[in-house]
A and B are shown apart, each in its own frame.
Chain A
Amino acid sequence: MSVTGFFTDSTLCIGCKACEVACKEWNQIPDDGFLWSGLSYDNTIELSASTWRHVQFLERSLPVAGARRRESAAWEFHSDVCKHCENAGCLEACPTGSIVRTEFGGVYIQPDVCNGCGYCVVSCPFGVPDRNPSDGRVFKCTFCYDRQRGGLEPACAKACPTGSIAFGPLETLHDRALRRLEELGEQGIRDASIYDASEGSVGGIHAFSLVRGDPRAYNLPPAPEIPTVHLKTAWRSAAAGALFLLAACAAAFAGTRR
């Protein structure tokens, strides 16, 4: 069973939101409410307990004479999703063992085990897991674990009309992304980059992207870290603090002996 991944290529995305709907239909997730955000065509706004794929719309300034795709990315679209980190903050934080690594390499929250403590919510450097207040549990993209178990691809990848969301063995996707970057260069597009968080404690993400311009505009932080990267320092501080207290305690009693 090879590790599978998502390669989301923003240069192929047409902002149609088929991925959002296919995900909700397959996973039977309810709507988020009906409020107009005014944020371009994005009324979904963010990943949440009831949105596991979110298409971002970035409007940029157009030159007066009209936009050339190769010269300025005037309106970019990108489908955001749980990153299924190689080293996952949520998985490490989960105290109940609800969050597990599947045989496909994805990070899966078991809904029958999750107690809604929310430790995972604060541990994710991307802000993905979210607690459903009326249900109590935490939800995020399951990487369509049920579908993969049946030998099927995730619902979003299947629906995507232009193949912007590619699904398959992670290795193959990495090769494909590198080739795509070259291809874009040949087309005169030089501001694209692959975002895969491979440097740093996250150690790479199984749902990685190709975007144009600064990844931060796509809610992709420059140096994501998982909280356990601070574990050594944290224990050392705790140990130092404990020693100090012990010493202070001993000193307090030493002074009173006759």
Chain B
Amino acid sequence: MLKEIIDRWPLVRQIRGGTDGTGPEAMSGQTRRLLPRHDGAEVARSICPYCAVGCGQLVFHRGNRLLSIEGDPKSPISRGHLCPKGAASFELLTHPGRLKRVKYRAPRSREWTEMDLETAMDRVADRVWESRNRTFHEERDGQSLMQCSGIAHLGGATLDDEENYMIKKLFTGGLGFVAVSNQARI
């Protein structure tokens, strides 16, 4: 025990090693054990969610917790690099302002309340069904229109291809929404 303490003592290490006390002999245990915090973690291969360059990202995680998001050197487009936004992806996913519960604002209210997810889904389904029934036009002047004119959708450029597909399939193919748009024009 005493021997251990003496062995670890920087001054002793310095004298024994003939060094000047500015190198490894002066390193604490914590320093000597230093490794990158994502050492041995799992890696998911992802793509940056910001602009359309489509930089490759390596998402390091362990036990369902994010550890770090960095560039993917294998991407032939980005070669492992990221811009400041892509480099901030870890904060994007973990900052304290992220929503975790459904927020609900009642008509005429001044504030948000929270709502249970399944309840919110049921309510939204109700709203869609009622509005659609009120504003659906099967035809106009004897010709087929099959349009729900009272509900619109906006969004898609930040969403996955599969999500865009499902939205269009349900909203247009199923519900008859024509007012469907997103950031894209050209």
Is there direct touching of A and B in the complex, by C-beta distance under 8 Å? Answer: yes
Most central of A22, A108, A147, A163 by chain B CB within 10 Å: A22
Q: A149's contact among B34, B80, B82, by CB below 8 Å, is which?
A: B34
Out of A20, A22, A91, name the residue touching B22 (CB < 8 Å): A91
What separation, in Å, do the CA atoms of A5 and B17 have in the docked complex? 26
Count, chain B residues at interface, CB 8 A: 31
List B15-69 residues whose CB lies under 8 Å from chain A: 21-24, 26-28, 30-31, 34-37, 39, 68-69
Q: Which of A92, A110, A155 contacts B70 (CB 8 A)?
A: A155
Inter-chain contact B84/A112, CB cutoff 8 Å: no
Given contacts A18-B87, A147-B36, contact A112 B28 (CB under 8 A): yes
Cβ-based interface call for A150 (8 A): yes
- The stretch of A94-102, A176-184, A231-239 in contact with B is A94-102
List of B residues within 8 angstroms of A20 by Cβ = 84
**A94–chain B nearest beta-carbon distance, Å:** 8
Are B80 and A158 neighbours in the complex by a CB distance under 8 Å?
Answer: yes
* Nearest 7 interchain pairs by C-beta: A150-B36, A21-B84, A97-B26, A22-B87, A21-B87, A161-B81, A17-B84
Question: Among B26, B30, B34, B84, which residue has its beta carbon within 8 angstroms of that of A18?
Answer: B84
Docked-complex contact A160 and B22, CB < 8 angstroms: no
B163 → chain A closest CB, angstroms: 27
A16 on the B face (CB < 8 A): yes
Chain A contact patch, size range? 20 to 34
Does B166 touch A at the CB level, under 8 Å? no
| Residue B115 lies at the interface, judged by CB distance under 8 Å to chain A | no
What is the bound-complex CA distance between A26 and B86, given in angstroms? Answer: 13
The one of B10, B27, B87 in contact with A159, judged by C-beta atoms closer than 8 angstroms, is B87
CB<8 Å pairs between A and B, sample of 27? A17-B84, A18-B87, A20-B84, A22-B82, A25-B68, A25-B69, A25-B87, A25-B90, A91-B22, A92-B22, A97-B26, A101-B22, A101-B23, A103-B24, A108-B31, A110-B27, A110-B30, A113-B28, A147-B36, A150-B35, A158-B81, A159-B70, A159-B71, A159-B81, A159-B82, A159-B83, A161-B81
CB contact between A146 and one of B24, B27, B37, B83 (< 8 Å): that residue: B37
Bound-state Cα–Cα, A92 to B22, Å: 8
